[in-house]
Amino acid sequence: MNASRTVWTIGHSNHTQERLIDLLRSHSIAVVADLRTSPYSRYSSQFNKEQLERALESQGIRYVYLGGPLGGRPSDSSMYDADGRVRYDLVAAGSDYLGAVERLLRGAEEYRIALLCGEEDPISCHRRRLVGRTLRERGVTLAHIRGDGAVTTEAELEAREAIEFPERFQLALDGPPPWRSEHAVKRTERAEGDEWTES
């Protein structure tokens, strides 16, 4: 395994298409792997799947949709706990998930890949907490492209996390904290018409 592989992450936030493309090009990203379960938004329609794919490919950036196996809101109800949070430990053990991770690993050997989701700040986004963790366990370095163009390292995020989310590190009497989404995201527990984030 090549431990020097780097994978970038980015959140489209409420940027314009042009701004997102500028951010990607400034970091020489060749492939965008879209990790959104539902790659559509009524608030940021410029990032709906078809529009985004056309815009990226017109700039020579390949678009790959992986939100089925690597998305933050699995369709299988058994992947959620009683609070409606996604059980990342269960998701990460699935064959479709692991196959998509292997695809990313192979791609990262040849291309500069950015994992795309909606949230600008990666600290609680599933692109980092689920997919990024799996990649790190396989020797990949993560680099998070922020909205201002800066790159945040995992070490910097972990330092922030220890202050802002200490519960993620506190051992319970019955073992480590559960590996799950930060917030409830189960469809049946949301009001119809709410905008979703993938955390």
pLDDT over 70 at 41, yes or no: yes
117-174 per-position pLDDT tens digit? 999 999 999 999 999 999 999 999 999 999 999 999 999 999 999 999 988 877 656 6
Q: Quick one: angle between helices 49-58 and 17-26, nearest 10?
A: 50
Cα(152)–Cα(174) distance, integer angstroms: 33
User: Over the stretch 110-119, which tens digit does the pLDDT of each residue have?
Assistant: 999 999 999 9
For residue 67, what is the DSSP state?
H
Domains in the chain: ranges and CATH: 6-189 (3.90.190)
The predicted structure's pLDDT at residue 125: 96
Strand ordering across the sheet containing 141-145:
62-65, 31-34, 113-117, 6-11, 141-145, 151-153
For residue range 184-193, what is the model confidence (pLDDT) as tens digits?
A: 986 544 333 3
**Is pLDDT above 70 for 61?**
yes
Q: Which is more confident, 3 or 100? A: 100
